[in-house]
Each structure stands twice: as structure tokens, then as C-alpha cells.
Amino acid sequence: MPARKRCVTGIEGLDAALNGGIPEGNVVLLSGACGTGKTTLGIEYLTYGAARGENGVYFSVTEPYEKLLENMRAFSFFTENLIEENKLFIIDVSLLYNRLGLLGEDRTIEDIDTLLWALIDTVRALHIKRAVIDSITAICSRLAQPSKIRELVFNLSRMFTHFGVTTLLISELAGSAGRYSTYDVEEAVSDGIILQEDVERMGNMMRTIQIIKMRGTAHSRAKYVMDLSTEGALMVPLLKWGLSGE
Amino acid sequence: MSEFENKLIDQFNMMPDYSITALFVDTDQYFPAITNTLFYTTEQREMGGGYVTITRPARAIMNKLLAQKIRIADTYFIDCISYMVGGASMASKQVVNLESPTMLETVLLKVDWAFRQIAAPQKFLFLDSVNALGIYNRDKILKEFLHVFINRLRARDIFSIMLVVGRGLPRDLEEILQMTCDETVDLRKKV
Ligand SMILES: Nc1ncnc2c1ncn2[C@@H]1O[C@H](COP(=O)(O)OP(=O)(O)OP(=O)(O)O)[C@@H](O)[C@H]1O
Ligand SMILES: [Mg+2]
């Protein structure tokens, strides 16, 4: 079996842990509690690709466009020109809802279809190779039943994979260990799970990142410490004695 | 020049281009040890470097070195202590502040950061000091850290000095240093 083509994330350490990058077309859940750096990682991933000829789209559900842009300007990896050059697209999903006439709180199966096709049309029309949905949790929160959530996430994954779009679905976790998504179905249908956590050592919080699963490649399963600075994310293996109380 | 300084300089002159040295000095020789090390690395060998400080805030070290007219324009400081004592307000392109000396993995990452900033072709790393790290970290993780850290430096051909001040370091930590460093230079007075 020939090795699958890789989508290089550009995040130092992560690509090494993935043996070269995310297998192209994979739909990956990027899970973490609030403030663990999911959005930053997502934007760095898109920026890296866009600068190398792979168009990227960021579907923002939780943050308005201007605010997001303002936060991203602090990072040295972020190149605003990529937006003007139509290589990096930021789409405010609440505006998309309005345009599609999806105004109510509850969604019908037809609404989900409408949204799904709007997302698919977007990635096709803009020749997208990389997508980030921030967050899939926020989209799903509008869907009352698990069956609807499954329908959306399953079809979305299938179609994005079909069009060769390597996708990060950002999943907002509210605690409970052993789960990587709020509605469980997201983790069942995704090709990969990358988990971001906060861990404590002697009273200080450190960010960690770990690849839980990734279809199509061998990968490290170790926990890495992630440092977020204005230069972007950097990773180094967590020291083995780093968490025990001894 | 004191006897200590002469001995230290002799030792430096015998060191190969790339080597990792555990340097043991008495407490009262702390300042001569750092100023002479930095003089040797930045002035004599014209290296750029990373300086990990746990003992004193970077600002204090920089002032000390500048007062001795030691050029530190190409030296980058990883300050593990200022933040914790509430003095990390200094904004400088040459200094990064760590929240705590227990964030050992972040030390590794910030040292990489320092090496990316350096303009000089040859690089050094000065760890000031192993025993100050020992105040905040348990022996097991500190041993593991030194093992990883030193081997990363070795892989990158960095001229490195691991400073140990006084005699308070646990025996097994000293052994780890002897085991992982290329040289051990002990300039402490015999007791
Ligand atoms: N300019 C900056 N320099 C350094 N660190 C920053 C900077 N901006 C943000 N951060 C760090 O990144 C964290 C937020 O990152 P990010 O927004 O990517 O996280 P998130 O997981 O998406 O959070 P949320 O759950 O709120 O969406 C902040 O809490 C802060 O610690
Ligand atoms: Mg976010």
C-alpha cells in the first residue's frame, strides 16, 4: 500500500509526531477545554498551507471576524495578505446562517442539508485544501437530536474527504475525562483525534497536546508540552516524571 | 586576576570547540564564574548564546555583565525567576520570562528559541545553575531534564556550561552530570 500523501501542518513537533503530517483528506477532531489554544493552532495550520499554495478556510462559529483577526495579528506566523490574495478565507458562520435563512434556534433535517451544502459549495468554489470548523460543538448545539448531529458530521466528513480537504473540527470540551467530544458522534466519525489539555505541575498550568488516533499513519501517542507564544505553537515531549506526585 | 579566574581560564583554553562541561564552583566564586564564562564565550570566541537563569533575574545578570564591559548583544536570556518574584515587566527582545522554574519542557523550547535568534555562527549555552533548578524541582524530574537537555545540546553542537554552585547538590544529580557531560571541572576548594 503506498503511503498516503501528507498535509503538513507546519506546527513544529506535531508533524514529526504524525510521521510527516495529517494524511490528506482526513477529518480530524481537535479537542480541548477553553483556552487551550485550539483556535490559534487552527489558524497556524491554515496560514502555513495558504502560504504554500493550499487554500484554506476557517469557518468561525464562536468568534466574530474582526475580533478573530485582531487576536491573530499578534502572531508572527499570521500573514494578513493571504486573505487579500484569496488564499485564506475566514467565514463567519452566523452570517452564513442568515444568508441561508436559518434563523430559528432549532434545525430541521432540511436545514442541516442546507448548511451542509453551503459548506461543501464553499470549499469547492474556493478550491480549498484545508478547512477548520471552529467549532463543531457550536454547530451541533443547535441540533436537538443525536441523529441529526450524526447525520451532519458524518456527511460533512465524507464530503470533505471526497474533495480532498484536510479538516480540523474543533471540539470544545467541558471536562469529563475519556471523552473527546460533547456529543460522542463527532469522535466516532472522525479520522483522527488530537487532544489539547491543561495539566498542572507544582501549581503551574502547562498545555499538553496528544494524538489519540489518526487513521492512515503511524504516530506518536505520547503527551507533548505545547508552548504558545507569538511565534506560534511549539512542542516538546512531556518529561516522564512530569506529572507524578513523587 | 585571582587564582580562581586563572584556573578557570586555563580550563576554558583546554576545552574543545564543542563540549559540554559541568562546572563546579564555590559560592563565593559565583560572579567571577559567570563573568569569566561569558567573557570567554562572547568576547574571546565570539559566540552568541543562550543563558538560562534561575539564580537571579536576567536584568541583574545583564547589568553585572555590562558593568564588566562584556558584550552580550548576541546573548539571549531565558529568565525562570523574575516572573515568580513579580518582576517580569522588562520588555526586551533578548529576554523571555518563564512562569516558573518547574516548566522544564518550556526551558527546552525557549532555548531553541534563543538559538534561532543568535546571529553568530557558533553558539553556547550557559545554565545558571543546576542547584537553583534543584530548589524547585524534584530530583527525579531534574535528572530526566538534564539528561534530555544535555543530549539535545550535544545533538546541536552547542558549547555548553552547566554551572553548579556550592556543595548542596545531591550525589546522584552530580553523577548524572558526570555521566552526561563531556567534562567535569571542579574548582571548589578542597574540604
Ligand atoms: N498574543 C499572545 N501571545 C501569547 N499567548 C497568547 C496570545 N494570545 C493568546 N494567547 C494564549 O492563547 C490562549 C487562547 O488561545 P485560543 O484562543 O487559541 O484557545 P482556544 O482553545 O481556541 O480557546 P476558546 O476555547 O476560548 O476558543 C489564551 O488563553 C492565551 O493564553
Ligand atoms: Mg477558540
> Does the structure's ipTM exceed the value 0.90?
no
Query: Which pLDDT band, with edges at 50, 70 and 90, does A150 fall under?
Result: confident
| Closest partner CB to B102 (pick from A201, A229, A246) | A201
Nearest to A7 by CA among A43, A46, A36: A46
pLDDT attached to residue A75: 94
Q: What is the pLDDT of residues A135-147, one digit of tens each?
A: 999 888 878 778 8
Nearest atom of ligand 1 to the alpha carbon of A35? 23
Q: What is the pLDDT of residues B101-114, one digit of tens each?
A: 999 999 999 999 99
Ligand nearest to the CA of A40: 1
Query: Which pLDDT band, with edges at 50, 70 and 90, does A246 fall under?
Result: very low
CB atoms within 10 A of CB A38: 23
Average pLDDT over residues B118-139: 96
Average pLDDT of every residue of chain B: 94
- Nearest-Cα distance to chain A for B21, in Å, is 23
CATH code at position A227? 3.40.50.300
Strands A232-237 and A223-229: antiparallel
Average pLDDT over residues A195-211: 92
Which of A93-97, A186-190, A208-212, B130-134 is least confident? A186-190
The CATH classification of domain B25-141, taken from the options 3.30.465.10, 3.40.50.300, 1.10.10.60, 3.40.50.720: 3.40.50.300
Is the residue at A159 inside a domain?
A: yes
Pick the residue of A202, A226, A239, A240 with the most B CBs within 10 A to test the interface with B by mutation. A239
List, edge to edge, every strand of the sheet that includes A128-134: A88-92, A55-60, A128-134, A166-172, A27-32, A192-201, A204-214, A223-229, A232-237
Domains: count for chain A:
1
pLDDT surpasses 70 at B115 = yes
Cα separation, A160 vs A33, in Å, equals 25
Q: What is the pLDDT of residues B170-190, one digit of tens each?
A: 999 999 999 999 999 999 998
Domain boundaries, chain B: 25-141
Is the model more confident about A126 or about A230?
A126
Nearest to A185 by CA among A145, A215, A130: A145
Partner-chain contact B148 A239, CB within 8 Å:
yes
pLDDT surpasses 80 at A178 = no
Most confidently modeled of A60-69, A96-105, A235-244, B49-58?
Answer: B49-58
Strands A166-172 and A27-32: parallel
